[in-house]
Structures are given as structure tokens and as C-alpha cells.
Chain A
Amino acid sequence: MLAYLLKRLLWMVPLLIGISLISFFIMHLAPGDITTSEASFNPKASEESRQKLRALYNLDKPVIVQYGLWVKRMATLDFGTSFASHQRPVFWQTKDKDGNITLGMIQEALPITLLINLLSLGLIISVALPLGIISALKQNQLADRSITLFVFIGFAIPGFWLALILMYWTGVQHAWLPISGLESMGHENLSGLGQVADTLKHLILPVSISGLTGLAGISLFVRNGMLDVLHQDYITTARSKGLNENRVIYGHALRNALLPLITIFGLSIPGLIGGSVIAESIFAIPGMGKLFYDAVLMRDFPVIMGILTIGALLTMIGNLLADVAYAWADPRVRRGVIK
């Protein structure tokens, strides 16, 4: 098992290099760089000054040389500084000689996105599991049909549309919830608990909307997994030996039906750090989605590469964790792996 893990981890190195190489070149295929944004198309900014900026950012060098410089920095785990955001560090905070700390861009955006995504994942699981089980047990009955209809409506409804309607209803017509942002005015004057409550209140809408749109996938997986398992011989055996129905369903069927979900959760780990640019724009949440989108628009290469690298790394770790968890949960897989 240990050798297997080690092998998998070592394989990540060439994979990561390959991914970064491809990302880097594709990023440079897009026309333009930081000096050609629409805002810089300004007669007060001369072409010579733009060439000077290009040289200062090494953008005048061949792409392969730029990649080399990037790898050299990455070798010391230095993600560099943003072109656009006044040289803010891309990943983690830095301290200058006077002791002023500048926070990293990913360092600030990641916890926010992570919090929202974890909350909505929690919401999805706690709602989708029971829905899926009910659907499977009442297959093709009214309950099943209505649940399926409901989750599909949630899936199909455009998130931004629902967001605006709910913002209008709960924020403008009735002052129940804050409309956008993460903190109310005067947040810093609240007590510690008050601040947490204030932020959570701001998160209710974004989390429930992203939860609603994610219900369909998980609940249908659970439903189909349950249906598969319920038709297995061992369930028939369990029933025929007189076990009570709850034991059959929750003790035997559900546990096996949940196996494929491990893969899904493993694969959703990289998704946890990727925010939705639409939701973040509408709710004015400074998360990863907006950060990446703005970086792409500005051709802010260090930020783009930083996010892509971290995303790639997390995807691979997620895959590995899913495989390991699968092996842990399913003896059949475990034997295959060790062999």
C-alpha cells in the first residue's frame, strides 16, 4: 500500500510539469498581454512606455524563456507577484523591510470560496441523500416523480436569475437578508459572535442557490445506486431472513449504494477551490472565480498560472484520495490494488 502511494505521488511530478507547460503555452496563445488591456488604450500612455513595461515583466522574451523563469521561481515555491494588482503576491503574504504585510491574493480569496463551497456541499449532501433514498424507495410513485421534477428544476434554473429574484424579494421588498457583500456596514463594531452571524447571513442566499443547482446530480446518483443495490441478491437474502426493513435499507443497501459517491466527492475537491464567477459577481463576493476571471481578462499571467497550478495539484490529490478511500471502503478494490 505504501509503495503504491509513493508511486502515485511521484507520478504527480511529471504530470504537474506537463499540465503547467500546456497551461502556460495555451495562456500565451491568447492574443495580448497586461499592457494591451482596453484601459491602457489611452493616448496618454505611449507605445514606448508599454514596451518598457513589457520588458520589465519579461514579456518581451520568447515564451519558452518565460516558462523557464516561471519554473525557476516555482522550484522555490514562489508563485510570484501579480502584474495587475500592484505587485501583490499571488499566493501567500509577504513582509517588506518595514514589517508591512501584504496579503496574498489566493490566500484571501481561497478561504471565502472554500467556506461557501463546503457549506453548499454540506447542504447538498444533507438534502440530496434523503431525497435520493426516498426516490428509490418510492420508485415511480408520486413522491419519486415530484422529487425528480424538483431537483431538475433546480438544475435547470439559471442561477443568476434565481439569485436576482431572491435578492429582490428578501433584500429589497422585505429587509430579511442582506443583498450582496460579505459584511454589513459597521461589521467591525460587532462582537465576535455577531460578526460570524452577520457573515453567515450574507452567505444564506449564495449557498442555497449553489446548493439548489447541485441537488440533482447527487440525489439521482443516490437514487440509482440504491435501486441497483435493492435488486441485488444479498438484499433479497437479508429480507428473506426476516431482518427489519430499516436494517435492510440503512445497514446493507445504503452503505453499498454510497460507494460511487466517494469518487464524486474526490473529484469535487478541486471544484471546492473554484468559485462561480457569476455568483461571485452578483453577490459581490471576492472569491476565486472572480479572481481567475479578472486575471484572464487582464492577462495577469502569474495569477492565472498560480490558480491553475494549485487547481491541478488539488485535482490530482483529489483523485488519489478518492482511490484510497475507495480501496478502504471496498475490499474488492483493496485486494486488486495490493496485488
Chain B
Amino acid sequence: MLLNIDQNRFLKPWLVLSFLMLITACENSSSSRPSGHVTDFSQHYPASNGGMLVDAMTGEPSGLIAMIAGESAASAIAGNIFNSLLKYDKNLDLTGELAKSWDISSDQRTITFHLKPQLKWADNQPLTSDDVLFTWQKVTDEKTRTPYGSDFKLVIKAETPDANTFKVTYAVPYAPALDTWAGLHILPKHLLKDQDINTTAFSRNPVGSHYYKLDRWKNGQYLKLTRNNNATQGQARIDSLLSRIIPDKASQFLELSADNIDSMGLNPIQYARIFPARPDLNHHIALYKELGNSYTYMGFNLKRKPFDDIRVRQAINYAIDKQEIIDGVLLGLGEPVASPYKPGTRWSNPALKPYPYDPNKARDLLKAAGYVDHDGDGILDKDGKPFSFEILTNQNKEREMTAVLIQRRLKDIGINANIRVLEWASFLGRFIKPKAFDVVVLGWGLSLDPDQYSIWHSSQQAPGQFNFIGYSNPQADKLLEAGRIELDPEKRMKIYHEFSKILLDDSPVVYLSAGYGLSAIHKRISGISNPAPPAGIGHNTYEWYIPKAYARNEINEQ
């Protein structure tokens, strides 16, 4: 073969490095590095402007028009360049970004956004409601290659009564609307109106309105952003952001140790095993953890026997020790969840508790459902057939380990589970779409808007839709429908608290764990909120600063 491809080898570098790091932990700072290690980073300096923050990402954005690029690397960079109408504040409540306020009509079908006055693009052109209208037209255009158009197609009328007002009307009230407007980057009409948005060079040379503008993009190597003097949200303190593309996490870690990058995302081994063993690293690197944005679950195929029996589902839920999974797979760096909403936010029902680990209760429930070990082989059976099924997951180390722990616990109560691990595309094409699975271990995002109609509503079960487990409960359906048309946050909260309770009782999925987002940031970066608010440490990056005394030596400009 032309190219040398061996996927498994990707997993190994990390083990080697962990080992290496632990060995060298003892020999410690006999290192001959001249700088970095001598500065004392514990001193506090007042906020100042300037400096450059260098971070690393594993993938390169394909373009910076987020609605088309889609991947997380693109959103991360584009989020520093473009504004949306609304944003989430540090407590994950919606607040204005380009909009200074918004009104909802009494029939809840029309939303009027009032833009802040005197907004400007980075190229000094005025940013008006025309730009917002243009962006809406693009995202709903049939020719635009975006997967995110459907939410915006619900708008039946979009108007711009004046340069600072943007008004959208929906056929029926649509509660997630505000969330969708918080996710849509507003694009400049004056630069894009004669362009094909799918192929335009603008996506590699964008002009936005947020804190930073793109200075230089070296393909495959780095993207450098510098401060936008016309920024609509005030000025960020740090002058420039450099994002290096380093696909390998182990290499990123070496770069961090050598003080060549300031921040990176960590995995649990790095956070919980390597850092505690390396006092020399802790001297100049601070660790942060925040609740992540996703959870892992085990989902039953509810159209298959015996998973249509609620007693069987609950029994399995009781039989699985969630804390064991959090401790074993995430090294303790996660939380159990009892609803598909981020704990600590308004949508998460504080009264709900995860199913405790209780194998005896599990055995009783299975007995009630007719599963008894008649032939004495240690495996429960019913009608002469042993209770045996397959746990399906995709190639993801954490999910594979989780499946193994589940397998062991199920064996304890007399259920035989086999594990099958598949590459993503075949996992999706051969098993999920045709619903040819017993049980899956997968993850979902903990969405900021509570509407999860597409995941749980009984109408969303066609191939390719997201209720592939086949969950169907008329009561839950009703609540999901009600939650979509209720724009009052208090009333909406009650609806989703009730929905979460029904979901937990029905146990169509076993909530396994929600891992923390872990990051390491050099101590030269000051102004980071610790502990992190619900929105995470990144909520105020524009307030982060680098005291002059801590700035990295750079090769001089000019």
C-alpha cells in the first residue's frame, strides 16, 4: 500500500509518554532549560493589555463560516471572530450580544431583535439588520451546503423595519428559537452578497465583528488572530491568539511541558496521574476542570424483547454501578447525571437522583419479569432461552472500557453480555439506522436549550432520525410538544422537570456519566475564574490577561 496506516498505533504513544513522564518525575528539575522555570508565577499583577496566548488543537478548521464547516475546530476559532444576535452568559442564561434587547409578541410567534447602535465590521463598514437578514437568507437557502438550516426554515417571515431592528415570525411559537439565534454567526452582506457561500475565499479570509480578526492562516500549522479594533463587545486584553494544529495529544503535552504552548485540553490520565507526580509542571501550569457538555449513556432498543419490559430496563439500571464507571474510566473526573440536562442549570431537575447500585433489587425485578436461572448455569433464562445480548459501541476507548465494566456487573446478576466495537460509519450504517442492535453505549450533548424533541419524541424514529432507540411515551410526547411552544422560561422549566422525571422512571437509557472538561493553562494567563461557572472557564476569555513580567520571549516583530 502507498501509505502507512495503522490506527492502533495512535493509541500507544500516549501510554509510552505516561510511562516516560512518571519515570522522569523522580529525577526532576536537573533540566538545563534556561527560562520559564525560574519565574515565580504566584505573584498577582493587575490587569493589563498585550501579549499572545498560544494554544493547541488536534484538528484544523475546514473554513471559518461555521454553518458550513460544522466541526468543533471551526466553531472554536470562528467564535472569536463572529458575533451572534444572542449569547449565553456565565450562568448559561441568554443575553444580548449584537442585540441589546429582544421582544416577544403576545402570541409568542414574533421575535423582534433590537441591535446595539453603531455596530461595525472589522473593515469599518456598518453592521446592520440587513446583515442579519442576509445571514438568515443564506442559512435557509437550498443551495447552501449546511446541515443546520431546518431550525431557521421555521421562520415564515423575516423583516428589517429599520437598520437596527430585525423581526422574525414563526408559523407557531417556537421556544428553541432564541437558542438557535445564539448559535448563528452573523455574516457581512457587503462582502458575501455576490459570492457563492459554499466556495468563497471569505471562509479562509473572514471579516467579522468579534474580539479578534484573522491575521494569518498557515495551512496545517497554525491560525493567528489579532485584536479587532472595531470589536462590538469591547476590547479583549490579550493582543493575539495563536492556535497551533498538533494532532497528537502526547506531542501537545510535550509542547506544554517545554512552555511552547500555554493551554491544552487534558485527558483524565494527564490530569489525575501525571500532573500530581510532576511538581515541576505544577509550578507554572494550573489545572482547571468544569462540567463538560456531554454525557455517556447505555440505550436499549425498545422495539426488541426483552427491553420493551420496563422491569428489565430498570433492573439493568440498578445493576450498573455508575460510580465505578466514573472512577474507573474517568479516574473520578465526572459526575453521575439523572437527566439529559447539565446539572446546576435551570433545566436540570434537582429532585431527580440516579438509580443507585442495587443488585438485589435488580434480581427481584428480573424475577418479576420472569427471568430465573432454571438450569443452574449462572445465566438467567426465560422460556428456555438464556438472557444474553450484545452491547454495541464505536471505537472510543472510554466507551469500550465502560462497556467492559457494565458487562462485569451484568454477569453478577446473571446476564450474559457480549461487546462489539465498530468503526463509526459502519456502526451507524449497519446497526443504528436499521435499528439492528440490542443495546448501545453512546454519548449525547447536554444541550443548552432544553428542547430534545428530535431525540425522544415518538415521531422521530425513521431511519437516520435520532430517536433510534424507539422511545415512545404519549405523556413525554405531550410535554416535549408543550416545551417547544412555551417561551416563558419559568413555565418551560416546569415542563422539562416533569419530562426528565418521566424519562428517568421509564429508563429507556441508563445515564452512565458526564465527564469533566479538563484543561491545563499556563500560570502566566491571569483573570481566569476558578472554580468555573456553569458556562465553563472560557466564558470570559476577553478578560484574561498576561502580565508584562510573565510574557513569553518572542522573536521580535518587524
Taking Cβ atoms with an 8 Å cutoff, the residues of A that contact B are: 30-33, 35-50, 52-53, 56, 81, 84-88, 96, 98, 100, 102-103, 108-109, 158, 160-161, 163-165, 167-168, 171-175, 178-190, 270-271, 273-278, 280-286, 288-290, 292-293, 296, 299, 307-308, 311, 315
Contacts and interface: CB of A to CB of B under 8 A. Distances in A.
A47 B465 contact: yes
Interface string B239-251: 0001011111011
Contacts of B424: 32, 36-38
B530 interface: no
Contacts of A160: 9, 12-13, 16
19 contacts: A32-B425, A37-B424, A38-B394, A42-B445, A45-B148, A84-B62, A108-B220, A172-B258, A182-B221, A183-B218, A270-B2, A271-B2, A273-B2, A274-B4, A282-B13, A282-B251, A288-B3, A289-B4, A315-B2
A182 B429 CA distance: 39
Interface string B1-16: 0111110011011001
B555 A100 contact: no
Interface string B196-228: 001111011100000000001011111000000
B33 A175 contact: yes
A98 B194 CA distance: 10
Interface stretch (B43-51, B67-75, B284-292, B494-502): B67-75
B405 interface: no
A286 B220 contact: yes
Contact of B425 (A36, A45, A50, A163): A36
Contact of B251 (A167, A185, A286): A167
A307 to B, nearest CB: 8
Given A44-B148, A284-B247, A286-B220, A31 B201 contact: no
A307 B204 CA distance: 23
A161 B555 contact: no
Contact of B16 (A41, A164, A173, A289): A164
A307 B34 CA distance: 44
A96 B32 CA distance: 52
Interface in B525-558: 554-558
Contact of B254 (A109, A171, A270): A171
Nearest to A102: B201
| Residue of B13, B200, B220, B430 with most partner-chain A CB within 10 A | B220
Given A174-B32, A179-B260, A277 B4 contact: yes
Contacts of B250: 164, 282
A43 B454 contact: yes
Contacts of B10: 278, 281
Contacts of B452: 43
A161 B13 CA distance: 6
Given A161-B12, A180-B254, A189-B555, 9 more contacts: A42-B445, A43-B445, A86-B65, A161-B13, A163-B13, A168-B20, A179-B255, A186-B555, A278-B9
A48 B366 CA distance: 41
Q: How large is the interface on B (under 10, 10 to 19, 20 to 34, 35 or more residues)?
A: 35 or more
B234 interface: no
A277 B9 CA distance: 10
B2 A32 contact: no
Contacts of B183: 44
A275 B3 contact: yes
Contacts of B454: 43, 46
Contact of A32 (B20, B146, B429, B556): B429
Interface of B: 2-6, 9-10, 12-13, 16-17, 20, 24, 31-34, 54, 60, 62-63, 65, 68-72, 142-143, 145-151, 183, 198-201, 203-205, 216, 218-222, 242, 244-248, 250-251, 254-255, 257-258, 260, 394, 424-426, 428-430, 444-445, 447, 452, 454-455, 462, 464-466, 554-558
B62 A85 contact: yes
Given A108-B219, A185-B54, A161 B16 contact: yes
A189 B558 contact: yes
Nearest to B552: A185
A53 B5 CA distance: 29
Contacts of A108: 219-220
B12 A158 contact: yes
B70 A39 contact: yes
Contact of B554 (A186, A270, A273, A290): A186
B244 A284 contact: yes
Given A38-B424, A44-B151, A47-B465, A174 B255 contact: no
A281 B34 CA distance: 28
Nearest to B422: A31
Contacts of B254: 164, 167-168, 171-172, 179-180
Given A49-B150, A168-B254, A179-B251, A286 B219 contact: yes
Shortest 5 CB-CB distances between A and B: which pairs? A286-B220, A32-B425, A186-B555, A86-B63, A45-B147
Given A103-B219, A109-B220, A284-B245, A175 B34 contact: yes
A168 B20 CA distance: 9
A292 B3 contact: yes
Contact of B146 (A49, A185, A307): A49
A38 B445 CA distance: 13
B429 A31 contact: yes
A13 B39 CA distance: 65
| Residue of B2, B222, B425, B447 with most partner-chain A CB within 10 A | B2
Contacts of B24: 168, 173
Contacts of A109: 220
A44 B183 CA distance: 11
Contact of A179 (B20, B258, B394): B258
Nearest to B35: A175
Contacts of A30: 425-426
A40 B147 contact: yes
B2 A274 contact: yes
A136 B33 CA distance: 44
B201 to A, nearest CB: 4
A186 B52 CA distance: 12
Contact of B20 (A42, A164, A292): A164
Nearest to B30: A173
A196 to B, nearest CB: 15
Nearest to B244: A181
Nearest to B430: A31
B147 A49 contact: yes
B150 A48 contact: yes
Given A36-B428, A43-B452, A179-B258, A289 B3 contact: yes
A164 B13 contact: yes
Contacts of B62: 84-86, 88
A31 B425 contact: yes
Contacts of B428: 31-32, 36, 41
A282 B221 contact: no
Contacts of B4: 274, 276-278, 289
A185 B216 CA distance: 12
| Residue of A47, A103, A288 with most partner-chain B CB within 10 A | A47
Contacts of B430: 31
Given A31-B426, A31-B429, A109-B220, A180 B251 contact: yes
A284 B246 contact: yes
